[in-house]
């Protein structure tokens, strides 16, 4: 189905380059819009890859004879989108990317409203009803007309947590046929892995490896533990960011004290350097994942794009080595959990949108309908090895790893994202940690800092900065 698209790809790129040359010769006199039979798509090409959208592009072309897609699947999609939206000659029609700047684009008239698309039916349900519930609160934004509209569709529903090498785990006494279901059991497993003295080359296999360059990967587990302790309702109230007091971790009945508790559980593991691969602090996500792939650690905290990335490390046949049996475990229940099976979901900073300058908005909406359809969701599952943010249960492909992820997905109860309706989030940089710079993991891993001192830093900074943030970003 994607074959016809792939065969034309070289021709399309050549035609695009020729078009640029002609445009330059004409003194840049052309306006946005381009050929009436060409739909231009810019899509992020990173963890989930591009095979899924190439397949869907081929399907859409077959469904729309005489029309074709010009796809720019690019690792720098966010930069391209920003540049193109600032141009008076923007000929793009669909954007699929990441970055919280979609909120700015939506509110400033850069994106076309999708209100009518949300009411259209796809596979027996309106588009708005297909969106996973945890993304519903972020669907509408206030436009230039002062009214609320839908300007974007969510893209993926990332499932993060603890990934493990089942083949290595079976070599640890007592863990031949099970995974930890509680944090107490997880801590015991860490101890048992070290006692097993498994080797990888000349080195001992460690319980974990992590990426110090991307310590936000820890969020995917820690925030789920937070959800288990505080509950979705309390976290939703916290995310209103009504005052700096929301970040006061000393209030034992507040949601933030539970985030400190979740972080303390994380620190029970990562506060001991014998529990992870030496040099993890300086590792990129790829370097850490390759250490994991090569058997240097039993576990890694990551997100579900890990599988696709690992497959692509093997450029010859895109398979995992026999030594790696990748699987995902349900996030272990934290000690003191009141709301088990609560999960943090990745994806509130992702978007699928149509630039307001597009001359092919109906075709663009048609393509987005294909993406969110059952066929689109199944294609993403099979080719990107992930999940789109829509109500759909994929058909198992017989892949053992993907079956483990489906099992985790089926166990998920209440889910939440870090989206906030507050202007301090929409217009500014306020987030769950106060700011990205205050996320505590790197400091805890690289210094003698304590969880207490890191949360005190968050509390003090938000309290001292709140007035300035409100002045700059709104209230």
Sorted by where each starts, the structural domains of the chain and their CATH numbers stand as 3-157+349-390 (3.40.190.10), 159-345+417-473 (3.40.190.10)
Mean pLDDT of the chain: 92
Among 415, 378, 373, which residue's Cα sits nearest to residue 393? 378
Q: Which pTM was predicted?
A: 0.92
pLDDT at 2 over 50: no
Percentage of the chain modeled with pLDDT above 90: 88
pLDDT, one tens digit per residue, over 147-184 is 999 999 999 999 999 999 999 999 999 999 999 999 99
Number of CB atoms found within 10 A of residue 251's CB: 12
- Which carries the bigger pLDDT value, residue 323 or residue 6? 323
User: What letters, b where the CB count within 10 A reaches 16 and e where it falls short, cover 99-130?
Assistant: bbbbbbbbbeebbbbbeebbeeebeeeebbeb
The whole-number average pLDDT for the span 253-275 is 98
pLDDT at 30 over 80: no
For residue 28, the model assigns a pLDDT of 34
The region that residue 161 occupies, defined by phi over 0 for left and psi between -120 and 50 for alpha, beta otherwise, is left
C-alpha distances in angstroms, 165 versus 37, 179, 367, 385, 414?
48, 11, 38, 17, 27
Confidence band of 294 (pLDDT split at 50, 70, 90):
very high
For residue 5, the model assigns a pLDDT of 53
């Amino acid at each position: 189905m994607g074959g016809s698209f792939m065969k034309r790809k070289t021709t399309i790129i050549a035609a695009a380059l020729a078009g640029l040359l002609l445009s330059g010769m004409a003194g840049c006199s052309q306006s946005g819009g381009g050929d009436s039979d060409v739909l231009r798509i810019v899509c992020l090409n990173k963890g989930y890859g591009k095979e899924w959208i190439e397949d869907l592009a081929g399907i859409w072309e077959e469904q729309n004879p005489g029309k074709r897609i010009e796809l720019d699947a690019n690792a720098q999609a966010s930069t391209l989108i920003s540049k193109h939206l600032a141009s008076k000659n923007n000929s793009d029609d669909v954007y699929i990317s990441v970055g919280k700047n979609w909120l700015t684009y939506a509110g400033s008239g850069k994106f076309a409203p999708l209100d009518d698309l949300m009411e259209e039916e796809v596979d027996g349900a309106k588009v708005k009803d297909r969106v996973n519930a945890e993304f519903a609160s972020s669907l509408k934004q206030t436009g230039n007309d002062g009214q609320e509209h839908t300007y974007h569709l969510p893209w993926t529903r990332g499932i993060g947590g603890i990934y493990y090498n089942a083949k290595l785990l079976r070599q640890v006494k007592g863990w031949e046929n099970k995974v930890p279901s509680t944090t107490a059991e997880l801590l015991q497993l860490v101890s048992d892995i070290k006692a097993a003295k498994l080797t990888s080359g000349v080195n001992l296999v460690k319980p974990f490896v992590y990426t110090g360059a991307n310590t936000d990967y820890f969020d995917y587990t820690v925030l789920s533990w937070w959800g288990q302790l505080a509950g979705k309702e309390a976290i939703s109230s916290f995310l209103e960011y009504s005052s700096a007091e929301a970040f006061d971790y000393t209030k034992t009945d507040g949601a933030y004290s539970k985030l400190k508790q979740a972080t303390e559980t994380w620190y029970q593991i990562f506060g001991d350097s014998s529990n992870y691969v030496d040099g993890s602090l300086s590792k990129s996500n790829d370097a850490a994942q390759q250490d994991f792939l090569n058997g240097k650690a039993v576990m890694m905290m990551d997100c579900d794009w890990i599988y696709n990335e690992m497959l692509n490390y093997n450029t010859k046949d895109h398979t995992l080595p026999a030594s790696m049996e990748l699987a995902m475990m349900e996030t272990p229940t934290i000690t003191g959990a009141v709301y088990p099976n609560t999960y943090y979901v990745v994806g509130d900073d992702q978007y699928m949108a149509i630039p307001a300058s597009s001359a092919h908005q109906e075709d663009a909406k048609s393509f987005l309908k294909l993406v969110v359809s059952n066929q689109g969701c199944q294609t993403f599952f099979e080719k990107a090895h992930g999940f789109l943010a829509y109500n759909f249960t994929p058909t198992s492909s017989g892949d053992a790893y993907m079956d483990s992820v489906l099992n985790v997905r089926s166990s998920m109860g209440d889910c939440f994202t870090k989206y906030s309706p507050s202007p301090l989030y929409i217009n500014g940089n306020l987030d769950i940690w106060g700011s990205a710079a205050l996320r505590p993991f790197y400091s805890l891993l690289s210094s003698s800092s304590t969880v207490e001192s890191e949360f005190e830093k968050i509390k003090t900074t938000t309290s001292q900065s709140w007035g300035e943030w409100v002045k700059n970003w709104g209230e």
